[in-house]
Amino acid sequence: MSTDRTAAEELDRTDELAYLRDRFALPDDVIYLDGNSLGPLPKTTPGRLAEVIEREWGENLIRSWNDAGWWTASNRAAARLAPLLGARAEEIMVADSTSVNLFKLLMIAARLRPGRPVIVVERHAFPTDVYIARSVAELCGGELRLIDGPAGLESALDECVAVVCLSQVDFRTGAMWPAEETTARVHATGALMLWDLCHSAGALDVRLDAWEADLAVGCGYKYLNGGPGAPAFCYVAEKLHKNVRTPLPGWHGHANPFAMSPDYEPAEGIGQLANGTPPMLSLLAFEDALGAITDVPADALRRKGIALTSLFIDLIDERCPSLAVASPREAAQRGSQVSLRSDYAYGLVAALIERGVIGDFRAPDIARFGFPPAYLRFVDVWDAVQVIVDTLTSGDHRAERFAVRPTVT
């Protein structure tokens, strides 16, 4: 690998996805390596939201539930999401947050496997996953089994396990589980497999149907660019539909909501996962945002993500030997992020943000950089590494002013 910037320019010239960047409103003075935490604004979304607020809400008022298609917005969002998840729209519900969807699906899983009291989750999973799994285990009179990595999974699997919940990509290190193989291993013991796709959807070649996954959840505001607090999604494989019983039977999931019956009768298929009235502004923004990538083959996104992270790792190895790469070096085992380990990780991230390179910090010692394939250029990777080199040379990452951390890192 050459340190020459022209090599990165050449990669951009031959990038099959280069045309996508123009669909996003990215500030000129920023290199955005945090789209894995909050995706940027798609250019069409402000206009769409203005239309929703001024015309659909402001003028048309409650008539918009029918006339503007508010009632079916979740289904349309699911249809746009389906190709990116390797699933069918009828298996996807766009609703609630990831945390709430985890609750719904873990309860569903526990009820589908009576007599199996154990939920398996990773000890160092994103905290909400652990908290929700523990609560579900308590509510069901079961127990949580916390594991560390593939060896931990192997020893945790027995006939007591109802469901295994894993994040396909580790949010700290970017390490990836082999999804198809792991799903098959979990199925061999009779347990259900729930994938958390928060750091997968919109960046990786997700193939829920082909993996024969049972359940999945994921975020709308990371690689899917739905905006802060965008609705999340959940997936229930069709093979399970007839036996599913949601623990949150809100009226939107009723077979006939406007019958206003005191008795709950679940909607068919994925419909009962709808819960209550969605946050319409956020849902319509999410539907719009999905338009920016729904026509892009997931395998093309994955290919470019690998090329971006590989270039970053090569340049860091070559130019910043004091930083340790904490993500897997084998591209197939790595999501679309690269984490660097340093005693000065927080100071480094803060000093980079001052210089317009936005990544984030994850305790205790990780500087994390996301490489969303839809809008990041290879020259952005090259320029970001140049700024890292300059920052390390200046010593700013050790500055006194970064000793105190703000609430959100």
Ligand X SMILES: *Cc1c(COP(=O)(O)O)cnc(C)c1O
Which residue, 273 or 392, is less far from ligand X as judged by CB?
A: 273
Whose tokens are 């347990």? That residue is 191
Which residue, 190 or 229, is less far from ligand X as judged by CB?
A: 229
Q: Which of 3, 44, 60, 97 binds ligand X (CB under 6 A)?
A: 97
Residue 161, beta-bridge partner list: 118
Report the nearest approach of ligand X to the CB of residue 333 (Å). 17
Strand, coil or helix: 137: helix
Residue 94, beta-bridge partner list: 233
- Whether 43 sits among the annotated catalytic residues: the reply is no
Angle at 34 between CA 384 and CA 357, to 5 degrees: 30
CA–CA separation, 97 and 31 (whole Å) = 28
- Whether 103 sits among the annotated catalytic residues: the reply is no
Stretch touching ligand X by CB under 6 A, among 58-66, 95-103, 273-281, 286-294: 95-103
CA–CA separation, 96 and 277 (whole Å) = 9
CA–CA separation, 363 and 346 (whole Å) = 8
Which residue, 3 or 97, is less far from ligand X as judged by CB?
A: 97
Q: Which of 80, 222, 304, 334 is catalytic?
A: 222
Q: Which of 8, 11, 156, 198 binds ligand X (CB under 6 A)?
A: 198
Strand, coil or helix: 362: strand
Cα–chain center distance at 182: 19
Report the nearest approach of ligand X to the CB of residue 124 (Å). 11
- Whether 196 sits among the annotated catalytic residues: the reply is yes
199 scored as a contact of ligand X (CB under 6 A): yes
275 scored as a contact of ligand X (CB under 6 A): no
Stretch touching ligand X by CB under 6 A, among 105-113, 121-129, 139-147, 367-375: 121-129
Q: Which of 60, 128, 294, 386 binds ligand X (CB under 6 A)?
A: 128
Q: Which of 103, 126, 286, 378 binds ligand X (CB under 6 A)?
A: 126
Which residue, 8 or 119, is less far from ligand X as judged by CB?
A: 119
Stretch touching ligand X by CB under 6 A, among 21-29, 126-134, 238-246, 311-319: 126-134
To 10 degrees, the CA torsion angle through 203, 208, 214, 217? 20
- Whether 222 sits among the annotated catalytic residues: the reply is yes
Q: Give the amino acid at 6.
A: T
44 scored as a contact of ligand X (CB under 6 A): no
- Whether 126 sits among the annotated catalytic residues: the reply is yes
171 scored as a contact of ligand X (CB under 6 A): yes
167 scored as a contact of ligand X (CB under 6 A): yes
Buried b (16+ CB within 10 A) or exposed e, 100-130: bbbbbbbbbbbebbeebbbbbbbebbbebbb
Count other Cβ atoms within 10 Å, centred on residue 90.
17
Tokens of residue 204, six digits:
């990786």
Cα–chain center distance at 207: 14
Q: Which of 368, 375, 378, 402 is catalytic?
A: 368
Which residues form the catalytic set? 126, 196, 221-222, 368
Binding site for ligand X (CB under 6 A): 97-99, 126, 128-129, 167, 171, 196, 198-199, 219, 232
